[in-house]
Structures are given as C-alpha cells and as structure tokens.
Amino acid sequence: MPTGWLNWDWGNVPSWVGSVLTGSSLGLAAVTYYRARGDRRRELDDAERAQAAHVTLWWVNPRKALVRNSNDVAVTVRAFVPGHPATTGRLGLGPGETRALQLPVELEGRSGDVALEVGDSYGRSWVRHADGGLERVTTGTATAEPSALRWTER
C-alpha cells in the first residue's frame, strides 16, 4: 500500500472544478463591484460639477470676452486674474444668458489668464481656469474689491 501524499483523499474532479469556478466567480464579483463603485463616484463628481461646466468663456478680441451660461438654471459668475487684484463684481447669469467681459488696456496681454468663479444653484463655488479645468473652491478665491475687469452688454 502506498504511503505519503498518495494516501490522501484528493476528492473527485467535479468537486475540484466546482471549487475553482466558485473562487473565480467570487473574484470576478469583487472586481465588478469595485469598478462599479468607481464609476458611480465619477458619475456623482460629474453631476456635481455639471452646472459649472456649462459656463463658458471665449475671447472675441484681445480685450473682450463673452461669458455664456448654458444651464437651465441661473448661476453667479465673477471673473478674475489669478495673482492680480483685477476682478469683476459677482454677476447673476440666467439660463442661456450671455454677457461681455471687458479687459482693461493694462491687462491686454493677460487674456489667457482670466479665470471664472462660478457659483451654482446648490451654493457651491467652482473655479474655471483659463485652460478649461474645473476646481471646487472650499474657501473664497480673490477677496479684492471689484476693479479693472468689468461686465458690459454684448
């Protein structure tokens, strides 16, 4: 009679196959759960920033830009130049409304630096950087009084 590992009861093939498939199924379920959780987090992040993402700024000439609210709700907007005291007052933009932003002569070369602080209808504030990126604001941005930049009619 053989001794050692040959004496062990290794079970049968269906038990082995069932164990391997059960383990694989559990691993696949865990991976699917974590991916779905990440997708849900990204969807929530996108939904949070949706209103700010629909506020756009484009330049008509080196000193004049247009700011448009493409939302179905009103938002507040304030334009500023990071690192410079030039800001505008806070402006309420209704749904589909467009306003012009006038840059003073001394800031003509800095049009690419102008950023927007957008207040959404939930009371959250976002900064839309000149490169189009969005960042949630947890504290106030520039606290300077409005100067230099100004809102005008289209």
Helix (H) or strand (E) holding 24: helix 13-48
Q: How far apart are CA 146 and CA 48, in angstroms?
A: 28
pLDDT for the residue numbered 146: 53
| The residue to which tokens 């969005």 are assigned | 134
pLDDT for the residue numbered 30: 95
How many CA atoms, within 13 angstroms, populate the side-chain half-sphere of residue 132?
A: 2
Which residues neighbour 58 within 8 Å (Cβ) at sequence distance 6 or greater? 65, 66
| The residue to which tokens 């957008």 are assigned | 118
Helix (H) or strand (E) holding 136: strand 134-137
Helix (H) or strand (E) holding 68: strand 64-69
Q: How far apart are CA 8 and CA 122, in angstroms?
A: 67
pLDDT tens across 59-110, in order? 888 888 899 999 999 999 998 888 877 788 888 999 999 999 888 877 777 7
Tokens standing for residue 46: 């996108």
